Chain A
Amino acid sequence: MIAYVLRRLIQSMLVMLTVAFVAFSLFSFVGDPVANMAGEDASQRDRDQLRRDLGLADPFPLRFVRFVGGVLQGEFGFSYRNLQPVARLIVDRLPATVELAVSATALALLVGVPMGVYCGLNRSSALAQAIQAVSLVGISLPTFVTGILLILTFSVGLGWLPPFGRGDTVRIGWWQTGLLSVSGIKSLLLPSVTLAMFQMALVMRLVRSEMMEVLRKDFIKFARARGLTSRAVNFGHALRNTLVPVITITGLQFGSAVAFAIVTETVFQWPGLGLLFVQAVAYVDIPVMATYLVLISFFFVVINLVVDLLYYAIDPRLRDGGPGGTGKGR
């Protein structure tokens, strides 16, 4: 077990190194940070000097090795745009993104699972049909459209919720939370609904189809034949057996929620990692872009690992097959 985890961690290092390499090789196409930093009327001489001082004139392999060496020592560089150490920026922004992603995922599960169960059990009811149709909209509507529509409805039209930002935050240690103030909670609602929309529809459809499949299985028939209540059958036996794929998808979706909160964060000016990244791209803030991409690949690797370990807990069959017995459909 420990050997397995260790092996996975080493693999993850390689993944992160590859991501860093690919990211770094792309940065030369993003544009020129010096023009932004030096001021538009800087002389050619000053621009060249700044480029040399930033190490941008060095060949690509040297810059890459320098970045990796820095990261290994816990040095992530200095943001060109915010003029702050990148590590501090990331630590400042991480709580906002995690709180948004967690609340969106929780929302998706709390709404998606019951709806999925209902639709699985009452396939032909009018409500189930309606839920199905609406979930299609949830999957196909682009995030920025959903976001702007919600802002126009609830902020501009009704005036109930703030249109942007994170509200008041409270600092607990280094973690700045928006969950402990009224304005923080109110500010969280629209972005998390926006971000949850896709996941919700996905979870609901997944649970529905899994339920339908499980309900046809023999052990359900036996359970019914034994005279168990339909509640015990549906939730105790059927739902439990649908959970393995739901956990996989939720885990991966949580990773995506963190990684792709970019659009939601941009629309709501939510001060998280995604917004930081978008602004970094526009400004060619190479240290921030590089650190962000490495961090996100780290997230994905960790989440995959956690999902694999959760399988062990849920599915007894996997525990016998030894570490990493099956591919688990990834």
Chain B
Amino acid sequence: MTAPSLSPEDFQPLQSSVSGQQLSRPSLSYWADAWRRLKENPRAMASLGLIAFLLAFVSIGPYLWQVDPSAQDLDQIGIGPGADRSVTLAAPFQPWLPEQQATTLDDNMLGFTLAMPATTQAVRLVWTMENGTRYRLYRNLFDPSDTGSFGLPLAELDRSYFEDRLDLQAGTYYYSLVMLNADGSETTSTVTKDIQVTRVISAAEALQRGLIESEDDAQLGMALELAWHPLGTDYLGRDMLARLMYGGQVSLFIGLFAPLAFVLLGVIYGSVAGFLGGATDQAMMRFADFVVALPFLLFMILFKVIFGIGPGESGIWPMLVAMIILLWPAPARLVRGQILQIREEGYVSASRLLGGTTTYVVGRHMLPNTLGVILVTITFQVPSAIFTEAFLSFIGMGVAPPTPSWGAMCNEGIKSMLTRPHELMFPALLISITVLAFNLLGDGLRDALDARMRGAE
């Protein structure tokens, strides 16, 4: 070792400047430390933000978007988000007298033709008639030559015209006319026409919907805009956004309140069992085992019957009661295990030895040490409660129509999934986001509250 110029001063005793006992890090309380670690977890904080947003969506949302969730917009049934809202003002519906009107038929095999412009009031079709022949008319949303099937016929006719007024929406329809043999079987004489249906509205209707100020303003052919549904409407023409907000109130209420209630019940039961110990504990836990084995669905039915849920009633309470009565044993077991474990810990014995009363030991040691576990349990029970609501509503045992809930909306949306996917996707998305947020928050809380993780960076 090359010692660069050492002077005698170097060998003077060192003034002890720092105490060897100094603490390297400031001490934080358990909860402050947990909060600090939660804040450092970006996923947990993002999910916390997401949960705040969802709560605002269902609580403040209805004040910002004041649309009645049960009002039906019959002009716009089952439309997707961002659908065309334009509508043309037309004369009120007039009966059609096809015999009195001459129409130039198309030069196709059957002369199959649209008699006048197709509107949502009516689609009027004519064709050449061969005496004694019957025709079958089909209407499809997709080109039948692609799908290879006509589906169910619209009508079977022995005349040369047809007026379709069945549930017409703006868009393209494929009408197929098939000539029939004498025995009723289909011939190969088939013509398919794609027909653009435009949306029209009469002046009286426009006034009623508030689209024009008075009938004097109305001019035929005037372009108007129908009510706006940002997320579309469902199969009854109800506004999706409003329904999602109100449905969220039901889903989140059950999702948050049920876990709070049954975890609290479980905590009380479990801590009493753990505290008393011995035979009482054994008996209480055996009873909990039996309750776990009870079938959930059966109890749902029972409560529905007992509460006398009829049509038009929500059915939220029986679901809540059934969940509380059947789901408490899991948290009870958890808390009992914790209490039994903590009871044996050195610091509890030490506290007792130093003269701590039962209340003090419970309040100062047992509760704070189980609170973390309880909090994490509640967080993880929220997603499962939301799933349970959705599952029950899906199989028709949950909230009763017309009360919206995200699960019930999924149940309705699944029926028309192929043609109008938005009716299923929006509520499903909200359920998924909520469940995801609570799962991530639960993960974050568990990591943050795990005392073993303290100090581990």
A complexed with B = no
Q: Residues on B close to A: CB < 8 A?
A: none
Query: Which of A's residues lie within 8 Å of B, judged by CB?
Result: none
